[in-house]
Amino acid sequence: MTEPNHAHFRLTVLNPGGRDPEQHFSDGAGETAQLHAPISFHAYAACTRGSFHRETKSASAEGTPVLLLLRGDFRASERALTALQNEGRVVAVSLKETGLHQIAEQLRDPAKLARFTQVVKRADGCIAPTPETADFYRAIRGSERVAFIPTPYPIEDSRWDFSRPIEERSGIFIGTREWDVLSRNHLGALLLARSLSNETGALVTVFNYDGRKGARLLAGIGFAAEKLRVLNRKLAYPDYLREVAKHKIVLQLDTSFVPGQVAGDALLCRIPYVGGNGAIDRLAFPDSCGFARSIEEIRRIASRLLRDRKSYEQGVAAIENIASPLLSFGVVAQQLEKFFR
């Protein structure tokens, strides 16, 4: 790989044939109201003041290194890799969906697996938003030019600080909402939240996108009257963060080894996050995430945060200090630049 100019390093992220339109991040994270928030793979572009594309030609025209996202049957990704390398671009690749259950679902077809393997071998490198995905790439191409680089969050940008005073926070926000993805453990999180609500009196907030079926499932959990708050409509990302920020803790039991957007949401709100084993979960919330912890341990951590004001204040105070050296835009931008040298 060629060494980029440090003062001008920018990364182009390409999702060939995807739905998200072209977007430029010349202002870094930018204002909160924009086409797509600077999170997930858009964040790799935003932290370097780069761009996000769905057309190969426009991505190549940026004249910068490219992170190519692999999705679908990988045909469009394979064509994009060939075109970009023919034009002299340095191209790293990453699966767009990187939870372990998502990887298994995508690669259970032999033809797709063969195509994916060839793309990974031909690429100039692989970037993984989780340690587990990095290990997966190494199993295919060896350790050369494979790196775990977490998706960053604009912690240092005051425009993306959604925190509220501690006195204005109350209750538990459930970070999952998928009943049909078993590794999300949505039912388990709700049962745990019910137990915590009975113990502490905390109100529990959950999203329901499954209509009547979801409502019936929630009714079957057995929450005490007036202790369950259900939100039925999707919110724009800034409005969603404002909703999350009203709560005292974010809780989930996801075991999917995902990049960790729910933990990232909690980070932008400076709210303690409990449970879950994603990459951001482990980096930003090592003392309360679900990695290598039993549900009983998670329950005790959540209970302490809900009941003990001093523990809660200490937890909140530690969030930014722990996360900034690992997940801020500036830190991850340097990691990306080093990788593309």
- Tell me the three-class secondary structure of 180-225, residue by residue: CCHHHCHHHHHHHHHHHHHHHCCCEEEECCCHHHHHHHHHCCCCCC
Buried b / exposed e along 106-122 (16+ C-beta atoms within 10 A): bbeeeeeeebbeebbee
Please identify every stretch of the chain with a pLDDT value under 70, giving residue numbers as ranges: 1-7
Q: Is the pTM of this model over 0.85?
A: yes
In angstroms, the CA 165 to CA 129 distance is 31
Dist CA 121 CA 140 (whole Å): 7
- Which pLDDT value is given to residue 4? 40
pLDDT above 70 covers a percentage of the chain that reads 98
Give the pairing of strands 51-53 and 23-24.
Answer: antiparallel
Q: Which domains does the chain have, with CATH numbers?
A: 6-149 (3.40.50), 158-326 (3.40.50.2000)
Model confidence pLDDT, tens digit, residues 3-52: 344 457 999 999 999 999 999 999 999 999 999 999 999 999 999 999 99
What are the tens digits of pLDDT across the range 57-76?
999 999 999 999 999 999 99
Residue 225, pLDDT score: 86
Q: Please check whether residue 254 is in contact with residue 274, taking contact to mean a CB–CB distance below 8 angstroms.
A: no
Q: How far apart are CA 286 and CA 292, in angstroms?
A: 11
